[in-house]
Amino acid sequence: MKAVLYARVSSEKQAEKDLSIPAQLKALRKHAESKGYDVVRDYVDEAESARTAHRPAFQEMIAASKNRVKQFDVILVWKLSRFARNREDSIMYKSLLRKHGVQLVSINEQIDDTPTGKLFEGMIEVMDEFYSANLAQDTKRGMRESASRGYFSGGTPPIGYLIDRSEKGANGKGRFVLDENYSGVIRRIFDMALSGKGAKEITKSLNSEGLKNNRGKAWNKNGVLYILGNELYTGTLIWGRKDKSQQPIRREDNHPAIISMDQFAAVRRLVGSKSPLRAGQDRLRRITYYRR
């Protein structure tokens, strides 16, 4: 039988405390050898959550299972939680695999096709989903606690700032500090906006000078509008805007400001005036400033 191996970790931290990708693959390969399977490919998703179906290697594997010319007969996983932690997704994808004659095998969970085996499998899936939801809730609680104390809450810091990790919050993150390579560019963008230039003209000015953003790419209008609508540059941290269940956290004077509150407010007023910035007002209104 032809087999493929699927391994996944959701984060670097999990890779350290849980079974790493190399360790998973080693165990899977050993199991395949004991069963006489011919391993034709490894599929690996690193730093990907099982709660989303947008895992690139996973999706490639599922697509391959539907190929008219059968490429493999069995998928080996360390545990079912590596395959999915959402029971709805798990049922859907396992049904699809069965339709195409592909078997899913968890090498650490002895599951068969008997009624008892199916019951056991369902219980595992329910527990995995519970664990995932509980972990997400705990993570969110930790992020909120860190944000309430002024710490960075994850993701990519906005251009103009770096993260000082010498002092870490409960979530292991640090605090915002100025990125001297770009903070001056942020000030110029606000100055140009306050002088009456629109986002399109500001973008053109930056690119004509050969300036690049922090990803080494040319500036674009949306990037400029994002900056002009981001209150973080006033030294204010806002977290939890999208959470309708509780009030967002707002901390003024949380970190070094690049512009003043007055400058930010003036730009906001220009959005509602006859200024060229008004053309981007819908984009500005949609910006959620910092994160979540």
- 206 CB contacts (<8 Å, ≥6 apart)? 185, 189, 219, 224
Catalytic residue among 10, 65, 81, 153: 10
Residue linked to tokens 């609680």? 141
The region that residue 289 occupies, defined by phi over 0 for left and psi between -120 and 50 for alpha, beta otherwise, is left
- 242 CB contacts (<8 Å, ≥6 apart)? 288, 292
Residue 95's CB: how many other CB atoms inside 10 A?
Answer: 9
Burial 245-264 (b: 16+ CB within 10 A, else e): eeebbbeeebbebbbeeebb
Distance CA 200, CA 177 (A): 29
- 96 CB contacts (<8 Å, ≥6 apart)? 62, 65, 66
Nearest to 138 by CA among 170, 175, 167: 170
Beta bridge partners of 164: 175
Let me know if 10 is a catalytic residue. Answer: yes
Write out the two tokens for 170. 């409960």
Angle (CA) 49-103-52 rounded to 5° is 15
Orientation of helix 261-271 relative to helix 183-194, angle to 10°: 50
First to last CA, the chain: 47
Active site residues: 10
